[in-house]
Structure 1
Amino acid sequence: MATITVHNSLKPGAPVPFVPKEEGKISWYACGPTVYDLSHLGHARNYVSTDIIRRILTHFFGYKVNFVMNYTDVDDKIIIKARRKRLLELEKQKSYTPEQIHDLVSKAFQAYAKSSLPLLLSEDNTANLDESSYQELKDAAYSRILAGGTLSGEGKPSDAEAKVKMHLNNMDSAAQSLKNGASLEGAEEILLPYLDSLYKETIDTSDQTMFTDLTQAMEKAFNDDMIALNVLPPDAVTRVTEYVPQIVSFVEQIIKKGFAYEADGSVYFDIGAFEQAGNSYARLRPESKNDKALQEEGEGALSKSLEGKKRSGDFALWKKSKPGEPYWPSPWGAGRPGWHIECSVMASDKLGDQMDLHSGGVDLAFPHHDNELAQSEAYFHDCGKGEHTWVNYFLHMGHLSIAGSKMSKSLKNFQTIQDALATTYTARNMRIVFLMGRWNDGVEISPDMRKQADSWETMLDNFFANIKAKLSEAGSATAAIKDLSLTENNSNGLTEELKQAKKDLTAALSNSFDTPAAMQILLKLVRNANIYMNDKSTQSNLQPVEAVARWVTKIVGIFGLDPSAQPPYEGLGWGPANPIAAADVDPQTAVKPYAAVYETVKKEVESLDLSESPIKVVLEQQSPEAEFAELEKSGERDVEKLALPFIRATSRLRDELRGVISSGATLDPKLKQTILALSDRIRDYDLTDLGVQLDDQADKPSLVKFVPAARLIAAREEKAGILAEKARQKEEARKAREKAEQEKLAKAKMPPQAMFKGDAKYLEWDAEGLPTKMADGCEVPKSQQKKLKKEWEKQKKLHEEYLAKA
């Protein structure tokens, strides 16, 4: 195997050699989602990038990867969301008058401002804040943020400013609701935390379905998103709620070793004892070790009131459950697992006391992953044997940012994966965007990045369409090329380019999975293949281009860019970005649109008066139905191949129509116009709408290409738009010319003796109508007389020409 280097967060800096503990095999644990809400593009960045690396290790370098991922299905976020949802349901069941609803929402409005937007309030009370005063107070307190500035007045906006804007948006909605009479639905974002503060301890959590209903629904939604993004499923999945007894045992063992202590029903990890035993804490992010904000975030929003810590940095392994929280039995009383302990227990259960890879988003490095490492290494600590290594390589995926802030649910600055796939992306071009950035770098999706990704995809789309069309035209793809090697003409330039591209790609992927370099290598090779394919001197030998196309197909398959492809990716080209699985294809249904187009065109051609044309013979000889039947009988399920008999038959009829026009035969003008219109419609509408492009060729049948219908339709509409704009400009120019001619004619009708009469600037004129005195009684200056005389003579000439034509 090739020597691989990786960026290992445990050893910051240059990539280090990757050496799995067992040759040819890799154990890998990935932090999965906290299933409390729909997944967004930030999650897509993490899990698609992880999937790309996994595919490269498996299908390019040949490792057997054991990939384990967890679902966090008990967590502060889950508890809060499920509990608040239940509280809102209960609140809606109460019989409130409109005045009582308004009063409730007003109190929630002020409470929300006090906790989240303190600058809105006066120093000692909230009396001045209501829906009427809100806008003025908001503008005064947060104008700098609203104008794109920062809270401090320095630097660039980041997560803190994004959070303020999110809170202001929630207040905006609530203020509008209050102005409109107030309703529970219109002010949910500010009402839910208020209800939680009032009634959270009244919720009966002995029935945990309120939590499991949420987590199970969100887990299914996440799985659906991953399928849509062509992310491979894990080899094993773990859930926190299925591991609570093991978690309790794990925590007990850490206590026994002296690295944890119980306090008031909770258990905390003892960082001081851990370090005194010769272990290192915060190895991933030592600079964040004393960051209180991150420590608090890691403990969770519901843990602020837990007491008994020896040090502020000590973190919870087991949390005492308060009223309104789910609970399980333990030696320390009713409680629930801490956030970090879950991954230590589940990963160790599946992969043992040491794993090759651990991955997750970069925002998990501290405290989550650092705490995972500490408690796991404490669990496996063997006194006298030195520090235990639980993870050999930590991979942290760079996060996705929006206007400088990471995309997150808590900031509400996200687009869900479902929405993104429905409105903005296909799974393929989203993956291309991520491939064009380093997996460990942050990504901010800009218009320029989208444009580059679209261009890359279009280049490969066109390349695959062209080579498949040319091979189909030549007969069939040469089976001898399927091993991706060339046995003849080794001096051929394209052959050498392919050999070099293979070496370069191996080097790029060996260098910490450098996919941006890999994408450029593929792009360069495809460009050179296009040059070769368009060179008339080499067009008869398509084998080198086919070899390139098959190798590129293999690589894009490995990268996960073809949802319909399967290892070892030996096909030619990629399928649709959102395909129907081959096994689900009903041949008769799949070809119905193509067969319908052929039947329509056939009937229209038969109705034409072309008895002297060879087209009648073509109509009699063609039998696409029989060709299709043979393909169906053979078990073929590739929609393009199944449709090809009908497409070729349609294209041939169109070629014959073009031949009638170009033959020079005398045709009735109406018939000629009908043939031209039919020929254009077949190409530009009938086949375009099915994703089929016809390229006209001189003295040869049209080249049939399969291109995404959306692209062809967009190109057609763009062309129509350009033509319409040209027609509009032409019409405007015609109208301008007409207007100018009319103005010129109107001017020519005027005798020169009358042209200055009536002008208020002048008081007297001579016999020829030239001004002699200005309005103030002064003589017209000589310099002005000369100018006026020239204008008079010009008008005299123009008027004489008019009279001559009249």
Structure 2
Amino acid sequence: MAQLKVHNSLQPGPAVPFTPKEEGKVSWYACGPTVYDHSHLGHARNYVSTDIIRRVMRDYFGYKIILKARRQRLLEIEKSRKYSESDLAKLAATAFQSYAEANLPELLTSSDDSPLSPSNYVARRDAAYAKVLAGGTLTGEGKPGDAEAKMKMHLSNLTAAAAAIQEEKVFGGADEILLPYLDSLYKDSIDGADHTIFTDVTKYWEDDFMGDMDALNVMRPDTITRVTAYVPQIAKFVEQLVAKGFAYEAEGSVYFDIAAFEAAGNPYARLRPESRNDKALQEDGEGSLSKSLGGKRGPGDFALWKKSKPGEPVWDSVWGGGRPGWHIECSVMASDVLGSQMDIHSGGIDLAFPHHDNELAQSEAYFCEHGKGPHSWVNYFLHMGHLSIAGSKMSKSLKNFQTIKDALKTDYSPRGMRIVFLMGRWNDGVEISSDMRTMAEGWETTVNNFFILVKSLIADKGSHVTSTAESLTNLTIDSETQEGLYANLAKARDAMESALNDSFDTPKAMQVLYGLIKEANIHVNTHKANVDVPGLEAIARWVTKMVGIFGLDSAAAPPYDGLGWTSTAFTGELTPLEIAEPFHTMLERVRDEIERLDIHSPALDAILATKVDTEFETLTSSGTRDPEALVMPYLRVVAKARDEIRKLAPTSPVKKEILALSDRIRDEELTNLGVYLDDRSDQGALIKFVSKEELLAQREEKAAKEKEKLAQKEAAKLAREKLEAEKAEKAKVSPLDMFRDDRYSEWDEEGIPTRTSDGKEVPKSGIKKMKKDWERQKKAHEEWKAKSQA
């Protein structure tokens, strides 16, 4: 196998060879989420992509991997208080003004000098932020970005609050503006030493996040670490950095000393050197502390330990009450589990600076030895590209996100979402679009239909197909000497290996699978009755293995030796008898219907006499638990019986009843069980397992089309009848009278006008045309009289 190469953020440029510390094993730390709200599609992009790489490394390359809220409480307290209408209105108005002052100052300037209020908010908003609301920038120049996204978020919050306040629905409708205001009023009353205030919230959201990851088939980490369990170790870690001269205390907080770190020969900002002086990113990394920093020696120095403010969580330390800085948390937790060096550290690209760069610096400072050169804490940094909407990254702080739960309810299936991410490089950005989803749906449908087709062809051939997962796994294919489907499979396997070795190039891998299936479908369509079923099975089993490795089947597990992904026709933990029972009952109904119609032929009688239960018992005693295999004996009898009665129908006195039964078997009996019969002119019907919901939708669509067709036919009939009635009414008029109206003053003996109403002669061309109309009317009138007299 060729050398695996990966894109390593520590070595910008082409992918580099991947060589773990210990052969065959990979130590890996992945940054977890900050759990304080529902997880969004940005999280899905990060963790699903991480999961895909993890699965590929484990199941394709064979590596063993070691992968390792204060304001809401205040709002609940406030809601429980008894407010008069005037006091509640005053609270809402003050919070409204406070929110605007902090986030949207343009709303506070107006020509009428009146204060901002919910009643004049909309006019102020439209005047001050029209360009932003229209999709532009505040200045009207350049492209909108995160700054405009934040403005839209704040405008959305104020818009909702203004409407709620005017409708006197303050709590519930105006929570987003009340939260920061109440926090500023009462934060001093919160006991920061009562950590349950914060851990209860994080535990709730952690469980919520894990539920979302389970829904997306993201494997759980081998080890989960939580900051609250590591605070004493974090404090000791920081003490060591101070002792080594790489950190210092100032006004109760402790900062990392970048200058001292670099003076010792260590590089800083290895991931994003161009961002080291980006003040906005630095402040974002420090959070609320950035607004009141004091005593820092260097502008880029970052907090390792923060002096707690009133209302914030607090732990004891040698510097007084405080809490860990953001970056130090990951360093201590990862080092505790993986030691002084790890193979892989991963996370979203937006964490590269300052979070990951600061992680690297403080960890390498902790583990380095003076005089022995820099220490490498991480060998490979993998950064997942972020998801974006209208040019702005998706994030909770911008609130421009769709939650995973909502996305799975409305737009995506778990498999469909994963396919979307597989179609993009893990380290590239992805722009949300309807085209992405359409493309993913098309790919999924192609693969699903192929699995259905191959399983149907195998079932059609019965026991003649002998390919197994083991024979496929050990199969050696020479692409130069083999022909047909096996040659296609050999080329696809080589192309897959090349794609995955190239830094997990899943877009190319998805194209390889699609192209192989396309070739297989061409073979089926061109060979008809002479299809290479063993070759198709070999391809289907390999595709099954690959989609299993990519995590596209939540019910599959290594070594992925099945055929196809989880069928939606069978759900739940059922016994073989429970699985077979509805199919057995359906077969009995079909037998009774055929008996009632008194249809007979030697072939039909032999089919109906098949000892299905005996075949089923043989399957169960062999240990088979495949639901599709267990019900196939019943389906095969029904399908063959239907084929036979269709042959008998043309010469049968009950032809109409036979054809109705044939349709009912296909469209009702089997559809309700998630089975479709694909009728073939030259062979028996092909049995296909298809989603019951899909079949029912197709049936409803077919019925709707038939109804529309009948409606159109009825409308055409009514239109014809109306036209005939109008023609009949017109035919009643004698040609002698058809032109006798006030347009003319004289007529000849046949009623053809000779002079107009003003005495002028009618032009010859006009008389010629009227003569033709007169002849037609004469013929129609005579036909009408004949019908009337008959």
Scaled to the shorter chain, the TM-score interval is over 0.9
Read off the aligned partner of 2:38 and give its amino acid letter.
L
Say whether the 8 Å CA contact 2:161–2:177 is kept in structure 1: yes
- State the 1:203 CA deviation: 1.5
**1:18 equivalent in structure 2:** 18
- State the 1:770 CA deviation: 5.5
Question: In 2, Cα distance between the equivalents of 1:562 and 1:731?
Answer: 48
**1:77 equivalent in structure 2:** none
- State the 1:133 CA deviation: 1.6
Q: Which moved more, 1:244-253 or 1:285-294?
A: 285-294
Question: In 2, Cα distance between the equivalents of 1:30 and 1:412?
Answer: 24
Question: In 1, Cα distance between the equivalents of 2:131 and 2:759?
Answer: 64
**1:333 equivalent in structure 2:** 320
Residue number among 662, 667, 672 corresponding to 1:684 in the alignment: 667
Q: Which moved more, 1:589-598 or 1:293-302?
A: 589-598
**1:605 equivalent in structure 2:** 594
Q: Which moved more, 1:332-341 or 1:549-558?
A: 549-558
Q: Which moved more, 1:177-186 or 1:338-347?
A: 177-186
SS in 2 for 1:236: coil
Read off the aligned partner of 2:73 and give its amino acid letter.
R
Q: Which runs of 5+ in 1 are unaligned?
A: 69-81
Residue number among 630, 644, 657 corresponding to 1:642 in the alignment: 630
Question: In 2, Cα distance between the equivalents of 1:484 and 1:533?
Answer: 25
Say whether the 8 Å CA contact 1:771–1:780 is kept in structure 2: yes
Residue number among 732, 751, 756 corresponding to 2:715 in the alignment: 732
**2:348 equivalent in structure 1:** 361
The answer to whether the aligner puts 1:203 opposite 2:190 as a matched pair is yes
SS in 2 for 1:562: coil
Cα deviation code 1:26-70 (max 9, x no counterpart): 2211111111122122111111111111111111112222211xx
Say whether the 8 Å CA contact 2:569–2:689 is kept in structure 1: no
Q: Which moved more, 1:587-596 or 1:548-557?
A: 587-596
Say whether the 8 Å CA contact 2:478–2:490 is kept in structure 1: no
Say whether the 8 Å CA contact 2:599–2:645 is kept in structure 1: no
Question: In 2, Cα distance between the equivalents of 1:784 and 1:284?
Answer: 91
**2:747 equivalent in structure 1:** 766
> Could you say if the C-alpha distance between residues 218 and 580 of structure 1 is closer, same or farther in structure 2, counting changes exceeding 3 Å?
farther
**1:550 equivalent in structure 2:** 541
**2:691 equivalent in structure 1:** 708
**1:589 equivalent in structure 2:** 578
Question: In 2, Cα distance between the equivalents of 1:124 and 1:278?
Answer: 59
Question: In 2, Cα distance between the equivalents of 1:39 and 1:253?
Answer: 36
Say whether the 8 Å CA contact 1:380–1:388 is kept in structure 2: yes
- State the 1:297 CA deviation: 1.4
Question: In 1, Cα distance between the equivalents of 2:331 and 2:478?
Answer: 56
Say whether the 8 Å CA contact 2:31–2:330 is kept in structure 1: yes
The answer to whether the aligner puts 1:133 opposite 2:120 as a matched pair is yes
Question: In 1, Cα distance between the equivalents of 2:595 and 2:366?
Answer: 83
Cα deviation code 1:474-529 (max 9, x no counterpart): 22341464335267994322221111111111111111111111111111111112
- State the 1:802 CA deviation: 4.1
Q: Which moved more, 1:791-800 or 1:253-262?
A: 791-800
> Could you say if the C-alpha distance between residues 98 and 486 of structure 1 is closer, same or farther in structure 2, counting changes exceeding 3 Å?
same
> Could you say if the C-alpha distance between residues 301 and 648 of structure 1 is closer, same or farther in structure 2, counting changes exceeding 3 Å?
farther
Read off the aligned partner of 1:547 and give its amino acid letter.
A
> Could you say if the C-alpha distance between residues 770 and 147 of structure 1 is closer, same or farther in structure 2, counting changes exceeding 3 Å?
farther
Q: Which runs of 5+ in 2 are unaligned?
A: none
State TM-score, norm by structure 2: 0.92
**1:485 equivalent in structure 2:** 475
Alignment of 1:107-126 (within 5 A): 107-122=94-109
Question: In 2, Cα distance between the equivalents of 1:191 and 1:97?
Answer: 17
Question: In 1, Cα distance between the equivalents of 2:570 and 2:674?
Answer: 14
- State the 1:172 CA deviation: 2.4
The count of aligned residue pairs is: 783
> Could you say if the C-alpha distance between residues 593 and 417 of structure 1 is closer, same or farther in structure 2, counting changes exceeding 3 Å?
farther
SS in 1 for 2:174: helix
The answer to whether the aligner puts 1:374 opposite 2:361 as a matched pair is yes
Q: Which moved more, 1:505-514 or 1:307-316?
A: 307-316
Cα deviation code 1:135-164 (max 9, x no counterpart): 222222222222232323233333333322
Say whether the 8 Å CA contact 2:110–2:124 is kept in structure 1: no
> Could you say if the C-alpha distance between residues 364 and 780 of structure 1 is closer, same or farther in structure 2, counting changes exceeding 3 Å?
farther
- Taking every aligned residue pair, what percent have the same amino acid on both sides? 59
Say whether the 8 Å CA contact 2:30–2:347 is kept in structure 1: yes
> Could you say if the C-alpha distance between residues 352 and 799 of structure 1 is closer, same or farther in structure 2, counting changes exceeding 3 Å?
same
> Could you say if the C-alpha distance between residues 683 and 309 of structure 1 is closer, same or farther in structure 2, counting changes exceeding 3 Å?
same
Read off the aligned partner of 2:661 and give its amino acid letter.
L
Say whether the 8 Å CA contact 1:110–1:126 is kept in structure 2: no
State TM-score, norm by structure 1: 0.91
Question: In 1, Cα distance between the equivalents of 2:380 and 2:725?
Answer: 82
Alignment of 1:790-805 (within 5 A): 791-792=773-774, 794-796=776-778, 798-803=780-785, 805=787
Read off the aligned partner of 1:502 and give its amino acid letter.
R
Question: In 1, Cα distance between the equivalents of 2:338 and 2:323?
Answer: 24
Question: In 2, Cα distance between the equivalents of 1:627 and 1:108?
Answer: 75
**2:81 equivalent in structure 1:** 94
Q: Which moved more, 1:259-268 or 1:98-107?
A: 98-107
**2:639 equivalent in structure 1:** 651
**1:53 equivalent in structure 2:** 53
Residue number among 354, 378, 391 corresponding to 1:404 in the alignment: 391
Read off the aligned partner of 2:714 and give its amino acid letter.
E
Say whether the 8 Å CA contact 1:486–1:495 is kept in structure 2: no
Question: In 2, Cα distance between the equivalents of 1:126 and 1:221?
Answer: 47
> Could you say if the C-alpha distance between residues 220 and 592 of structure 1 is closer, same or farther in structure 2, counting changes exceeding 3 Å?
farther
> Could you say if the C-alpha distance between residues 782 and 484 of structure 1 is closer, same or farther in structure 2, counting changes exceeding 3 Å?
farther
